[in-house]
Structure 1
Amino acid sequence: MELDIETLLTRYRDGRCTADERVVVERFLLDHAATSGPTLSRSARWSLDRRIRDRVQQVTGVALEVNTFKRLWQIHRLSFAAAASVILISSLVILVFREKTPSAVVFAGSQTIKAGSNQAVLTLANGKRVMLSGKSEADTIRQPGTLLTVTPAGLLTYRSPKTGVTEVLVNSVETAAGGQWQLILQDGTRVWLNSRTKISYPTVFNAKERQVKLDGEAYFEVSRDEKRPFIVTSGTQRLRVLGTHFNISAYPEDKIIKSTLLSGSVMITDTVTRADALLKPGMQAALYSGTVSVKKVEADDAIDWQRGLFVFDSAELGEVMRKLSRWYGCRIIFENTADARIRIGGSVSRSASIGKVLEKVSAVGHVRFEVRENEVKVISNN
């Protein structure tokens, strides 16, 4: 049976190739070493990325970030061999740098900064507040026409065993700095909340539409319903869909609302200026001062937070530090405000310690950090 190259690359990565198949794969890689590189799918590039990173770590002891090869491929259009060479050389430089350069993060006194976790507060329609985290087993809450279930794994679900419910009850779930949560609404729509986020919603949707209000950031997987559009309002933005997957980032301090579409289609409208835009998969709308601009993006990057990663692609340091502040619950101070405009790129796990994250930021941002209790000071590396 003849296998395509992507299947062979996957088998090669997993160590399942026969001797003959290994020869085919390695010849394929060598044949493209001097070219601009073959056109491969996302999954194939992921396979190459994984194998390169494993090899680099084996040789140098340096653990490279996920998607290292993918980003080199996109930016430089390197061949496999060229990318591998660049990564290997870079890794050796990093190794030497680490051996000769002191840490760029100084901890002054005690520090209480920890990575975020599953924690949120549910506010019922009657004003009662319920802590959702810290439960050792599933718990249930009853409201008229609705049954709520809270699990220790960070999930809140709604069920409506009764039909014909006429009383409209509006609940809300809010995460503080360092919190995240997931909920399944009455219609089956799944919502993942990032830190410092609040969502308000009816316990049972009406027959005409499904409307929620969002402040902060959330990823939605909307249950399709041709008769009832799903509407999300954030500030002056109104997003309308029938059923799709999308991410909204609407933090007031960012002064911009970003909506990224992964599947389906959505309509974005500013409720004041009436400016609007229709998004297709792989597009991101940015609403700023009543104007909507649209661009193509790597849509999956917008929800890397939901997958447990920080991913920055030429992001301003000010934006990066705001995201760290929300997740680690710390205060950020720039010694020189001009440093907030430095652009950096890279990725790191959201479960990493604040020290490890800041070391990675320092390596690419040309700044140092001083951590004292719950405060992080950004210092120019002049």
Structure 2
Amino acid sequence: MEQKLLHKMFNGEATDNELTQIRQWVNADKANRETFYHERALFDALQLNSFQKENHVRKQSVPLWKWIGGAAAAAVIALFLLYNVPAFTDKNIQPEIAFNTIKVPAGQRVEVTLADGTHIWLNARSEFSYPVSFNGDTREVRLKGEAFFDVAKNKNKKFIVNTGRCEVEVLGTQFNVEAYNENEFSTALIQGSVKVTDRSQPDESVVLEPNNTVSLNNGKLTVTPITDFNPYSWKEGLITFKDINFKDLMKKLEKNFGIRIIIDNHTLDNYACSGKFRISDGIEQVLRALQQDAHFTFERESGTEIRIR
């Protein structure tokens, strides 16, 4: 395998055909796999040697699921591998932070256990980045999307979830975070204690108690009690809802399945839905079940759009 092609993949520039070619080569025998990891380490070393003056976080963009194939692809989805190379030629250059990144496709979910023992469930269309190792006095990860955290306790190392605008700080607890975009954020605390800070207003923070949720409303953090735990069953692979407005349900389905839903039937505006489905059943199965109680038809107009009449 040409070094140039492998480095092209490490840079996130390889085509699907090239990723397939590399996958087949890596799976061919053990020696190829060892060569692959050697080249990975060499590539990182070259990156580190070119690193100058300021800290830099490098995010890999090569989806492993595209080239490892088979059952592993279904389990891992999109895991990007980076390796720390503790070799620096200049004492004044600070080591770069290497991050793993997981991207979860629509209609899927992923479970991952970090090096400190923290267990995380990632919902559909989420992107999660975490360091190869937790150095220093904090454990900071990044999330865009939705995740449920069961954080391993470590009194000497705070665990921080950075969602861009908001930050969740914790020592050891169970909580759900939803932050698919900058202006959409909520954290639901199941047990333990967390501190939530709006980074755009650092003085505005909330210490949350169990069975409460905090969310951004009109740009401000607002705390409310959790009256329904069904929405958090997604980590078991379920879509569960009770007395939810049809339009709001469609928004949730859009997030899960990465599809746009257009509602032309306005008789559904006041329709409240309840139900439980497996995410793996797919969006069309959910809509067919809802048709049993509500009068509407739907049509898939493209691969990413459904119209409800």
TM-score using structure 2 length: 0.67
Cα distance change of structure 1 residues 195 and 332 upon mapping to structure 2, 3 Å threshold: same
Q: Which residue of the partner structure matches residue 142 of structure 2?
A: 213
Conserved? CA contact 1:157–1:184, under 8 Å: no
Deviation at 1:171, TM superposition (A): 2.6
**Map 1:123-272 → 2, pairs under 5 A:** 125=58, 127=60, 129-132=62-65, 135-136=69-70, 153-154=75-76, 167-252=96-181, 255-272=183-200
Q: Which residue pairs with 1:376 in the alignment?
A: 306
Distance in 2 between residues matched to 1:161 and 1:186, nearest whole Å: 14
Query: Can you give the 5+ residue segments of structure 1 that lack an aligned partner in the other structure?
Result: 1-123, 139-150
- Residue 49 of structure 2 is matched in structure 1 by none
Aligned-residue offset at 1:340: 5.7
SS in 2 for 1:224: coil
CA distance in 2, matches of 1:360, 1:378: 14
| 1:371 match: secondary structure | strand
The one-letter amino acid of 1:129's match is V
CA gap 1:126/1:350 in 2 versus in 1, 3 angstroms: closer
State the AA in 1 paired with 2:141. Answer: V
Aligned residue in 1 for 2:249: 320
Give, in angstroms, the shift of residue 339 of structure 1.
4.7
> What RMSD over aligned residues (CA atoms) do the two structures have, in Å?
3.4
Counterpart residue type for residue 153 of structure 1: A
Q: Distance in 1 between matches of 2:101 and 2:270?
A: 35
Task: Report the AA paired with residue 313 of structure 1.
Answer: K
Q: Could you list the runs of 5+ residues in structure 2 that have no partner in the other structure?
A: 1-43, 45-57, 87-93
Asked if the contact 1:310/1:348 (under 8 Å) is kept, the reply is: yes
What SS does the aligned partner of 2:124 have?
coil
Name the SS of the counterpart of 2:195 in structure 1. Answer: strand
1:378 partner amino acid: I
Q: Which amino acid aligns with 2:261?
A: I
Residue identity matched to 1:154: V
Residues 281, 302 of structure 1: alpha-carbon distance in 2 compared, 3 angstrom cutoff: farther
| Alignment size in residue pairs | 243
Amino acid at match of 1:260: A
3-state secondary structure, aligned to 2:231: helix
Deviation of 1:306 (Å): 0.8
Distance 1:128 1:329 in 2: 20
Q: Secondary structure at the match of 1:169?
A: strand
Structure 2: how far apart are the matches of 1:376 and 1:346?
20
Report Cα offsets for 1:270-289 as digits up to 9, x if no partner. Answer: 12233322222211111223
The equivalences for 1:322-337 within 5 A come to 322-335=251-264
1:212 partner amino acid: V
CA distance in 2, matches of 1:245, 1:162: 33
Q: 1: distance between equivalents of 2:59 and 2:241?
A: 41
1:327, CA displacement in angstroms?
A: 3.2
- Report how far residue 232 of structure 1 moved: 0.8
Alpha-carbon distance between aligned partners in 2 of 1:356 and 1:364, rounded to the nearest angstrom: 14
User: For residues 60-79 of structure 1, what are the alpha-carbon distances to aligned partners after superposition, in whole Å with 9 as ceiling and x for unaligned?
Assistant: xxxxxxxxxxxxxxxxxxxx
Output one character per residue of 1:318-363: Cα deviation in whole Å (capped at 9) or x when no partner.
Answer: 3322332333343311225785664423222222243331023334
Matching residue's letter, 1:196: R
Match of 2:240 in 1: 311
Distance 1:234 1:337 in 2: 35
Question: Taking structure 1 as reference, are residues 363 and 152 closer, same or farther at Cα in structure 2, changes over 3 Å only?
Answer: closer
Q: How far apart, CA to CA, are the structure 1 residues paired with 2:61 and 2:166?
A: 29
Q: Which has the larger radius of gyration?
A: 1
1:72-83 alignment, distance < 5 Å: none
Alignment CA distance shift 1:127-1:252 (3 Å): closer
Q: Which residue of structure 2 lines up, in the alignment, with residue 301 of structure 1?
A: 230
After superposition, residues 60-75 of structure 1 pair within 5 angstroms as none
One-letter amino acid of the counterpart of residue 347, structure 1 = K
Residue 159 of structure 1 and its aligned partner are, at CA, apart by: 12
Query: Relative contact order (alpha carbons < 8 A, sep ≥ 6): 1 or 2 greater?
Result: 1
Matches of 2:266 and 2:285 in 1, distance apart? 23
In the TM superposition, residue 248 of structure 1 has moved relative to its aligned partner by: 0.8
Deviation at 1:364, TM superposition (A): 4.5
**Aligned-pair distance for 1:228?**
0.8
Report if aligned partners of 1:136, 1:152 keep a CA contact under 8 Å in 2. yes
The share of aligned pairs that are identical, in percent, is 30
Q: Is the 8 A contact 1:157 1:185 kept in 2?
A: no
Q: Secondary structure at the match of 1:325?
A: helix
